Amino acid sequence: MPDRQEIYAKTVELIAPYNKRGVAITEATRFAQDLEWDSLTVLDFVANVEDEFDVIITMNMQAEIETVGQLVDALQRLTAARA
Amino acid sequence: MPDLFSKFDPLIEQREALLESGLTDPFNLVMERVESPTVAICNGRRTILLGTYNYMGMTFDPDVVAAGKKALDEFGSGTTGSRVLNGTYAGHKAVEQVLKDFYAMDHAMVFSTGYQANLGIISTMAGKDDYIILDIDSHASIYDGCALGNAQIVPFRHNDVEALDKRLKRLPPDAGKLVVLEGVYSMLGDVAPLQEMIAVSKAAGAMVLVDEAHSMGFIGEHGRGVAEAQGVIDDVDFIIGTFSKSVGTVGGFCVSNHPKFEILRLVCRPYVFTASLPPSVVATAATSIRKLMDSADKRAHLWENSKRLHAGLRQLGFTLGTDEPQSAIIAVIMPDLETGAAMWEALLDEGLYVNLARPPATPAGMTLLRCSLCALHSEDQVGEILGMFAAAGRATGCIS
């Protein structure tokens, strides 16, 4: 099971190809407001995250996730639940 | 005081900018007279209809119209009631019987619209701890069905069997699962690989719902849809369909072989809490569906039309939504909304109506000129249509 730091590093790596505006990523970076992602970008990105961590992030969960930190927290919970 | 309309300002501005350029509003067209399934009078001008979903051209069928008139005389203009109270007439039971015969299935439930059929079945079938796994490009009525219920929603990449399979395998094995697919996706007119998708869904213990709104009457040997054409209709748990396309009126339905299906009539809110269809509508639907059973010649002619329009548009240099014609929908991809609106207007000036489709209804932010063919478009009309696309395309610079 990956630790939080590993999950964060991997998440930042997965954000990079969609970070068209070159925003500096922190735990507090917001997907909608700061990265200005539209729904299609979100869908693509989430699919990549799901495949990387072998988890499911339902649309219900996505609605609660606004920041990079919140996504990392969710991934930590999901990977822990699987292990 | 905050104005609740402020949230629509960006859309209002986009519309105003588009209309200021002098374009006709593509979302406000009025059909002043309708002569046939393929011709109407718009802005005083005779216009060929190529964006109506009237695939089998049943709207002016003399038997269909006569059945509607008879029901209007005998049963009145409306039921003024829910299906579970005073809104079930002989005609509602009759059209449900016709649907059972058409699909060779045990149960049929008729809703007041196709939108409500998806809304009702999806929201009712999947409960709080169940999962709905759906294609990202699903129709708004499917997403709204998810939003009305409280199941866990898992989308997967459009028509991607592997993406579906991976997600199914990650879900708890003992959780209830409903996989929601469409036979024909209406924006690009592409067909789903139902055979593979249903196989992986069944392997994961999921129930499968297929929306065949855009294939009924046309695709498959008996016109039952893409699941029939791909030989997997017996593995589908729920087929959703509509009367507002090939059938030629309005209404929606679900057919199923599940032994407990009838209980849905008591628990499905979009079925219970709305008035049933008027008697004339169910009478026209029943007559039309019976005729669709024996329409092999019309199906063949519609395929010919679709193939010819697809090949002709490609030859003219347009970019199309699919490499080969897969349904009666042919989507012409426009570079942007402005060009799309200009081309739409140029076609209307030529005397041709198509649908202008744009985000968020379209996938990947595309602007589309969506053409839907009719079995009653004649060979001459298809030729005329291609001539209009050539002229309008050159006038707007879409093709050289």
Chain A, nearest residue to B133 by Cα: A58
B231-234 long-range contacts (CB < 8 A, ≥24 apart) are B231/B195, B232/B194, B232/B195, B232/B198, B232/B199, B233/B103
The pLDDT value recorded for residue A21 is 87
Assign residue B149 the CATH number of its domain: 3.40.640.10
B204 has a pLDDT exceeding 80: yes
Q: Is the dihedral of CA B225, B156, A81, A69 positive or negative?
A: negative
pTM above 0.90, yes or no: yes
Q: Where are the domains of chain A?
A: 4-82
Q: Map B18-78 to HEC letters.
A: HHHCCCCCCCCCCEEEEEECCEEEECCEEEEECECCCCCCCCCCHHHHHHHHHHHHHHCCC
**Does residue B288 fall inside a structural domain?**
yes
Which pLDDT tens digit goes with each residue over B255-280?
A: 999 999 999 999 999 999 999 999 99
Which pLDDT tens digit goes with each residue over B80-102?
A: 999 999 999 999 999 999 999 99
Which pLDDT tens digit goes with each residue over B277-288?
A: 999 999 999 999
Q: Which CATH class is domain A4-82?
A: mainly alpha
The pLDDT value recorded for residue B18 is 82
Do B141 and B279 belong together in one domain?
A: yes
B63 has a pLDDT exceeding 70: yes
- How many domains in chain B? 2
Chain A residues with CB under 8 Å of B166 CB are 50-51
Whether the CB-CB separation of B164 and B197 falls below 8 Å is answered with yes
Chain B residues with CB under 8 Å of A50 CB are 166-167, 170
**Does residue B3 fall inside a structural domain?**
no
For chain B, percent of residues with pLDDT exceeding 90: 93
Q: How confident is the model at residue B211 (pLDDT cuts 50, 70, 90)?
A: very high
B212 has a pLDDT exceeding 80: yes
The pLDDT value recorded for residue A82 is 75
Assign residue B304 the CATH number of its domain: 3.90.1150.10
The verdict on a CB contact (< 8 Å) between A47 and B157 is yes
A36 touches chain B (CB under 8 A): no
Chain B residues with CB under 8 Å of A51 CB are 166
**Does residue B383 fall inside a structural domain?**
yes
Q: How confident is the model at residue A2 (pLDDT cuts 50, 70, 90)?
A: confident
Mean pLDDT of B96-115: 98
Whether the CB-CB separation of B253 and B240 falls below 8 Å is answered with yes
Which pLDDT tens digit goes with each residue over B300-353?
A: 999 999 999 999 999 999 999 999 999 999 999 999 998 999 999 999 999 999
Q: How confident is the model at residue A77 (pLDDT cuts 50, 70, 90)?
A: very high
SS3 A67: strand
The pLDDT value recorded for residue B362 is 86
Do B88 and B226 belong together in one domain?
A: yes
A1 has a pLDDT exceeding 80: no
Which of A58, A60, A78 is the mutation pick for testing B, counting most B CBs within 10 A?
Answer: A58
Chain B residues with CB under 8 Å of A40 CB are 363-365
Which tokens sit at B39? 């011709």
**Does residue B14 fall inside a structural domain?**
no
Do B193 and B278 belong together in one domain?
A: yes
Whole-number mean pLDDT of chain B? 96
B167 touches chain A (CB under 8 A): yes
Last-in-domain residue among B241, B268, B293: B293
Domain that holds residue B94: 62-293
Q: How confident is the model at residue A83 (pLDDT cuts 50, 70, 90)?
A: low
Do B310 and B193 belong together in one domain?
A: no
Do B247 and B333 belong together in one domain?
A: no
User: Which comes out higher in pLDDT, residue A1 or B79?
Assistant: B79
The pLDDT value recorded for residue B60 is 98
The pLDDT value recorded for residue B28 is 85
Q: How confident is the model at residue A27 (pLDDT cuts 50, 70, 90)?
A: very high
Do B52 and B71 belong together in one domain?
A: no
SS3 A30: strand
Cα B26 to Cα B187: distance, rounded to the nearest angstrom: 17
B24 has a pLDDT exceeding 90: no
Which tokens sit at B399? 């093709």
B232 has a pLDDT exceeding 80: yes
Mean pLDDT of A3-27: 94
The pLDDT value recorded for residue B179 is 98
Do B268 and B349 belong together in one domain?
A: no
B201 has a pLDDT exceeding 70: yes
Do B227 and B116 belong together in one domain?
A: yes
**Does residue B320 fall inside a structural domain?**
yes
Do B233 and B286 belong together in one domain?
A: yes
The verdict on a CB contact (< 8 Å) between B153 and A50 is no
The pLDDT value recorded for residue B26 is 81
The verdict on a CB contact (< 8 Å) between A47 and B360 is no
**A58 → closest Cβ in B152, B360, B364:** B152
B21 has a pLDDT exceeding 90: no
The ipTM (two decimal places) reads 0.91
Last-in-domain residue among B240, B272, B293: B293
Number of H helices, E strands in chain A: 4, 0
Mean pLDDT of B381-386: 98
Which pLDDT tens digit goes with each residue over B359-372?
A: 878 888 899 999 99
